[in-house]
Amino acid sequence: MTAWSDHLAALIGNTPLLELKRFGGRQTSPCRILAKIEYLNPAGSIKDRTAWGIIRAAEAEGHLRPGQTLVDLTSGNTGIGLAALAAARGYRAKFYLRASTSPEKIALIHQYGARTILIDDAEFLQPGAVDLIIDRVQQENPDALYTNQRSNPANPRIHFETTGPEIWRDTAGAVDILVSAVGTGGTVSGTGRYLKAQKPGLKVVVVEPAAGSVPTPDHPDVDTVEGVHKVTEVEAQHLPGNYDSGVVDAVIACETAQARLTARALARDEGLTAGPSSGAVLFAAAQLAARPENAGRTIVAIIADSGERYLSQPGVEGDRTPQPDPAPGLQRRSGAWSSPAVRTGPKPTYHGPLG
Ligand SMILES: Cc1ncc(COP(=O)(O)O)c(C=O)c1O
């Protein structure tokens, strides 16, 4: 029996769930947290699903011709997913991104042969900016297919058809709470709708930036998390069309620093390198896990992408410096170091990369 796929999109989805056993002192928690590891999709994020949902629908409806250009405004991951699929299916692609988008994401888009236009972050702070920028995207690319990830129903649909059913199947219906970030809202709306249809009592929780992590015209340089957007105190017409607030039961706020620290804790406690939006999601999941009413419940947290996509960001940069060994006898909190007895000799010296 052979076991290969004949097109890239066939590799999207069926991502694994990992129970977090050490993160945040899990051993003592009466609540289970399962991480859905979406960075194992072929182009590295949950947005591979969105990209495939959109391209699949456009092809089926006859809106795409060979060699045509796909165009959208993206915080990076949708662009990467679309660029990869465009390369594999014979299309071109061009994306408009914030100038502050992580250099790794921009480089990945270029690696797939797509083009990028960077927009000054300050432009996004004007009232109605996103709509104005989207008008510009369409005007500058009249022959391209505008993939419209913010309102294209193919985006939540693929999560309804894949992400939700996978979680339901892989937890054998045990999932009680879904936690997600919101960019376009496609993930939470599609997955949440599917899961609630199976289990009406299931709760859907989203994470948004706390007050200190939202840039304003007075404080434009606030450190933000890509893929984590405000959903409260935002006028309905400025929310993406794919965000279904009716499916969301609660919103938890997270500062950028908390998101970055949580992502780092996940890497050190569980060996999973998640991006900062997943750090924010896990920050919210840990808060939910600590509530007595959630004892015995199963939380599924969406790990949208990998921390490798953000290694050059300011909050992460210090990690590139080799760390000295801890002093003999000093053990890490989680006991990950070998026994102090074998560390009593001279400290090893760092000689550079070892592998
Ligand atoms: C890193 C990251 N996390 C989460 C999300 C949220 O996904 P969605 O657009 O489905 O709401 C996005 C999307 O922009 C993202 O890039």
Kindly give the confidence (pLDDT) of every residue in the chain, 355 residues in length, as a single tens digit, with 9 standing for 90 and above.
899 999 999 999 999 999 999 987 766 678 999 999 999 999 999 999 999 999 999 999 999 999 999 999 999 999 999 999 999 999 999 999 999 999 999 999 999 999 999 999 999 988 789 999 999 999 999 999 999 999 999 999 999 999 999 999 999 999 999 999 999 999 999 999 999 999 999 999 999 999 999 998 888 889 999 989 999 999 898 899 999 999 999 999 999 999 999 999 999 999 999 999 999 999 999 999 999 999 999 999 999 999 999 999 876 655 556 666 766 554 444 433 222 322 333 333 323 233 3
- Please give the Cα distance from 72 to 150 (Å, whole number): 9
Neighbours of 326 (CB within 10 A): 13
Burial class (CB in 10 A: 0-12, 13-18, 19+), 87: middle
Strand pairing partners for 19? 34
Q: Atom 12 (ligand 1): residue with closest C-alpha? A: 227
Of 154, 122, 133, nearest in space to 57 by CA = 154
Q: Where are the domains of the chain?
A: 8-40+158-310, 47-146
Q: How far is the CA of 38 from the centre of ligand 1 (A)?
A: 11
| β-sheet bridge partners, residue 177 | 203, 299
CATH number of 47-146: 3.40.50.1100
Q: How far is CA 62 from the centre of its chain?
A: 30
Distance of CA 348 to the CA centre of its chain: 37
Among protein residues, the one whose CA lies closest to atom 1 of ligand 1: 227
Query: What tokens appear for 41 in the block?
Result: 């999709």
Which residue has the least CA distance to atom 7 on ligand 1? Answer: 183
225 in ligand 1 pocket by Cβ < 6 Å?
A: no
φ, ψ for residue 162 (rounded to 5)?
-125, -60
Residues 179, 206: contact at Cβ < 8 Å? yes
Nearest Cα residue to 105 out of 308, 280, 279, 302: 308
Question: What pLDDT shows up at residue 346?
Answer: 33
Q: What is the pLDDT of residue 28?
A: 67
- Look up residue 71 and give its two tokens: 């165009």
Predicted pLDDT at 1: 86
Active-site residue 151, yes or no? no
How far is Cα 174 from Cα 187, in angstroms, rounded to an integer? Answer: 20
What is the pLDDT at residue 339?
28
Identify residue 314 by its one-letter amino acid code: P
Cα–Cα separations (whole angstroms), residue 20 to 26, 139, 202:
7, 47, 20
- For a mutational test of ligand 1's pocket, the pick from 46, 80, 100, 194, i.e. the residue with the most ligand atoms closer than 8 A to its C-beta, is 46
- How crowded is residue 169: how many other Cβ atoms within 10 Å of its Cβ? 10
What does the pLDDT read at residue 352? 29
At 27 the pLDDT is: 63
For position 323, what pLDDT does the model report?
Answer: 67
Report the DSSP beta bridge partners of residue 69.
Answer: 92
Cα 78 to averaged position of ligand 1 atoms, centre (Å) = 8
Structural class in CATH, domain 8-40+158-310: alpha beta
User: Two tokens at 345?
Assistant: 């000799």
Question: What's the pLDDT at 256?
Answer: 96
Tokens of 171: 């937890």
Which residues, 6 or more positions from 327, have their beta carbon under 8 angstroms from its beta carbon? none
Q: Are the C-beta atoms of 92 and 70 separated by less than 8 Å?
A: yes
Q: Which atom of ligand 1 is nearest to the CA of 242?
A: 11
What local confidence, expressed as pLDDT, does residue 29 receive? 74
- Candidates 262, 210, 267, 200; CA nearest to 233 is 210
| DSSP assignments along 169-196, one per residue | HHTTT---EEEEE-SSSHHHHHHHHHHH
CA distance 134 to 145: 13
pLDDT at position 322? 64
Query: Of these residues, 75, 277, 278, 306, which one is catalytic?
Result: 277
Q: What is the DSSP string of 20-47?
A: -SSTTSGGG-SSEEEEEEGGGSTTSBTH
8-40+158-310 with 47-146: one CATH topology? yes
> Alpha-carbon torsion 86, 88, 90, 92, what sign?
positive
Q: How far apart are CA 190 and CA 155, in angstroms?
A: 8
List strand residue ranges (DSSP E) for 28-187, in order: 32-37, 69-73, 92-98, 115-119, 145-146, 177-181
Tokens of 273: 């390198």
Q: Is 47 a catalytic residue?
A: yes
Beta-carbon count within 10 A of 172 CB: 7
Rounded Cα–Cα distance for residues 82 and 76 (Å): 10
Which pLDDT value is given to residue 128?
Answer: 85
Cβ atoms within 10 Å, residue 7: 9
